[in-house]
Amino acid sequence: MSAKKLKLHHKILLALVLGAIFGALFNISKYKLEITYRIDKREAATEVVERWKQIEFVDAETKAVKATFGAEDQLRILSYVGKMSAADKSRMIVNVTPETGEQLSFANVRKIEKVKTIAVLIKPIGTLFIRLLMFVAIPLVLSSLLVGAASLGDIKKVGSIGSKTVGFYLITIVSAIAMGLLMVNTIQPGTRLSTDAREKLMVNFEANIADKIQEETSIDLIDLLMRIVPTNPVEAMSRGDMLAVIFFALMLGVSLTMVSKQKSEPVIRFFDGVSDTMIRMVELILVIAPYGVFALISAVVGEFGFDILQTLAWYVGTLLIAYALHQFITLGLLVRVFGGMNPATFFRGIKDVMLIAFSSSSSAATLPVNMDCCQKNLGVPKKITSFVLPLGATINMDGTSMYQAVAAVFIAQVYGIDLNLGAQLTIILTAVLASIGTAPVPGVGIVMLIIVLRSVNIPEEGIALILGVDRFLDMCRTVLNVSGDAAVTVIMAKQEGVLGKPDPDAIDA
Ligand code: ASP
């Protein structure tokens, strides 16, 4: 690793810490609301109200009180207003009774929002960084995988690497779920949540889960398999459908070995050039990583309500312990036993990957960085990273599957539902499928959790209990998701006898 790279890593880490401090300093207040209302047809005004004792929604015509909220009800007020139509809003009078001073009344209210702080306003810088990473992903995967497959030579070889990779992925997923179940059954976080806290969580987040429950959340294995073969590869690329792109690139690469060298050579050379260029582009994008990470973390921390972390401390703690054990013990052991690599070397090599995954909460955005780091820092040749990593980003989610299992059991514990061995085995199976079906972008894991809950008849409204801390846990589970991919990449390189060996020139291979 060059000195420049080391410096970048430190910069990202520093940005993460500073971003968290900045976000905490400019945390969004839960005692402030910004009310936008119309004065007349052309003019609107905005007023910030804070420290209210009570906020009341009154029908302007009938004078009937429609809803009353207290000082701690910011979230409930927002979801109440969020569900109103424009017509409903214009019929309402909003009466605000402050802790001190006179009552304020607003008619013709258009919007009620949290008061954004600078920590949240800088979020677009982070979003831009993630978009840059995502935009490299498809051309990078297509070109490197095509060249990789062409250098592997024949379809049998591709098939054998493919099945071994999937096998190792299954091992990491199942061991992650088992670790999660072990921890949640031992620590029993659900029995430690007070009834009072439970009711508060349900009331506060009930409204926010309605849209999640309605999302299409079924998993059809046949459908999943069918989707691997796109009817139109260009459309699959434009949709960013990774499994379909992988299939297309593999087919192209393998077929290229079947035409004359005179014809295949320029094609492979071209895509090899594209792939190298894309890797350079990733390095270029990483130059702004510290700014992106700062903005992303500052926005998350700025928006986060810290008291909920306290309420759910047992649940969060259980997951964090299980995450850490899987990350450093299970993955470390697998890398040592099957990959012959010192775990310390492995984790040092993927530091950037872990940091970007944590700040972006997206395996897809982290994929280009993972490919770069596995090649440069861990000595895995391109023909392995280009196949194993994109596949892993899509189907291998150790963190998400573990999270889904732990969350399901936690909710069951809160509701006092007893889960026997059969139910826990069902959870393992559905969590494997649900995590395979989870898209590698922020916040999808909790939607797919519904499948796991349904499989063992746990009330799906239970996700209201854990929604408040999901953003933070999503960041952590994404680290595990990408680390598992990197571990299997090292293992596969070792199994194929190419770990630490520079890429043979694809064309001469
Ligand atoms: N954010 C996760 C990922 O991209 C998916 C999830 O669990 O929500 O890997």
pLDDT at 505: 47
Structural domain for 297, as ranges: 121-495
Q: Show which of 51, 83, 115 is a domain's final residue.
A: 115
Does residue 463 surpass a pLDDT of 80? yes
pLDDT at 399: 96
pLDDT at 90: 81
| pLDDT > 70 fraction of the chain, expressed in percent and rounded | 95
Task: Please give the residue that has the higher pLDDT: either 102 or 204.
Answer: 102
Compute the average pLDDT of residues 455-468: 90
Whether residue 280 lies inside any domain: the answer is yes
Alpha-carbon distance of 388 to 381, in angstroms, equals 11
Pairing of strands 52-59, 104-107: unpaired
Domain co-membership, 301 together with 165: yes
pLDDT at 506: 41
Compute the average pLDDT of residues 450-468: 90
pLDDT at 218: 66
pLDDT at 475: 95
Domain co-membership, 105 together with 134: no
Whether residue 11 lies inside any domain: the answer is no
Domain co-membership, 225 together with 349: yes
Structure tokens at 171: 């091992």
Ligand 1 atom at minimal distance to the Cα of residue 366: 4
Pairing of strands 109-113, 52-59: unpaired
Whether residue 178 lies inside any domain: the answer is yes
pLDDT at 73: 85
Q: Whose CA is nearest to atom 7 of ligand 1?
A: 445
pLDDT grade, residue 6 (50/70/90)? low
Domain co-membership, 142 together with 212: yes
Compute the average pLDDT of residues 435-460: 88
Alpha-carbon distance of 410 to 404, in angstroms, equals 10
Structure tokens at 461: 């409204």
Whether residue 264 lies inside any domain: the answer is yes
pLDDT at 507: 37
> Residue 439: phi, psi to the nearest 5?
-70, 145
Q: What is the mean pLDDT of the chain?
A: 89
* pTM, rounded to two decimals: 0.86
- The secondary element (H helix, E strand) that includes residue 158 is helix 155-187
Domain co-membership, 110 together with 172: no
**Of 323, 327, 396, 397, which is best to mutate to test ligand 1, by the most ligand atoms within 8 angstroms of its C-beta?**
397
Q: Whose CA is nearest to atom 1 of ligand 1?
A: 442
Does residue 460 surpass a pLDDT of 80? yes
Domain co-membership, 147 together with 97: no
Q: CA 350, 355, 360: angle at the middle one, nearest 5?
A: 125
pLDDT grade, residue 217 (50/70/90)? low
Whether residue 9 lies inside any domain: the answer is no
Sheet containing 104-107, strands listed edge to edge, beginning at the edge strand earlier in sequence: 65-70, 52-59, 92-98, 104-107
Sheet containing 109-113, strands listed edge to edge, beginning at the edge strand earlier in sequence: 44-50, 32-38, 109-113
Crossing angle of helices 470-495 and 398-415, rounded to 10°: 140
Asked if 428 and 475 count as a contact pair (C-beta separation under 8 A), the reply is: no
Alpha-carbon distance of 139 to 238, in angstroms, equals 11
pLDDT digits (tens, 9 = 90+) for 408-431: 999 999 999 989 999 999 999 999
Q: Which amino acid is at 307?
A: D
pLDDT grade, residue 80 (50/70/90)? confident
Ligand 1 atom at minimal distance to the Cα of residue 478: 9
> Residue 161: phi, psi to the nearest 5?
-65, -40
pLDDT at 294: 95
Going from the Cα of 176 to the center of ligand 1, the distance in angstroms, rounded, reads: 15
**Of 242, 353, 438, 480, which is best to mutate to test ligand 1, by the most ligand atoms within 8 angstroms of its C-beta?**
438
Domain co-membership, 128 together with 253: yes
Query: What is the number of structural domains in the chain?
Result: 2
**Of 361, 404, 447, 475, which is best to mutate to test ligand 1, by the most ligand atoms within 8 angstroms of its C-beta?**
361
Domain co-membership, 156 together with 208: yes
pLDDT grade, residue 219 (50/70/90)? low
Where residue 44 falls (left for φ over 0; alpha for ψ -120 to 50; beta otherwise) is beta
Compute the average pLDDT of residues 41-45: 82
Domain co-membership, 75 together with 133: no
pLDDT at 82: 82
pLDDT digits (tens, 9 = 90+) for 349-363: 999 999 999 999 999
pLDDT digits (tens, 9 = 90+) for 478-507: 999 999 999 999 999 999 999 987 665 443
Domain co-membership, 259 together with 206: yes
Ligand 1 atom at minimal distance to the Cα of residue 440: 4
Does residue 38 surpass a pLDDT of 90? no
pLDDT at 103: 86
Whether residue 129 lies inside any domain: the answer is yes
* Burial annotation 382-401 (CB, 10 A radius, 16+ → b, else e): bbbbbbbbbbbbbbbbbbbb
Q: CA 133, 139, 142: angle at the middle one, nearest 5?
A: 130
Task: Please give the residue that has the higher pLDDT: either 212 or 313.
Answer: 313
Domain co-membership, 82 together with 126: no
CATH number of the domain that 275 lies in? 1.10.3860.10
Ligand 1 environment, Cβ below 6 A = 361-363, 397, 400, 438, 440-445, 474, 477-478, 481
Going from the Cα of 400 to the center of ligand 1, the distance in angstroms, rounded, reads: 6
CB proximity list for 397: less than 8 A, separation 6 or greater: 173, 363, 435, 436, 438, 440, 445, 477, 481, 484
Task: Please give the residue that has the higher pLDDT: either 61 or 372.
Answer: 372
pLDDT at 143: 93
Q: Show which of 97, 115, 133 is a domain's final residue.
A: 115
The residue assigned the tokens 């926010």 is 208
Ligand 1 atom at minimal distance to the Cα of residue 400: 7
pLDDT at 5: 52
The residue assigned the tokens 């571990």 is 487
pLDDT digits (tens, 9 = 90+) for 240-269: 888 899 999 989 998 998 999 999 999 999
Whether residue 22 lies inside any domain: the answer is no
Domain co-membership, 153 together with 263: yes
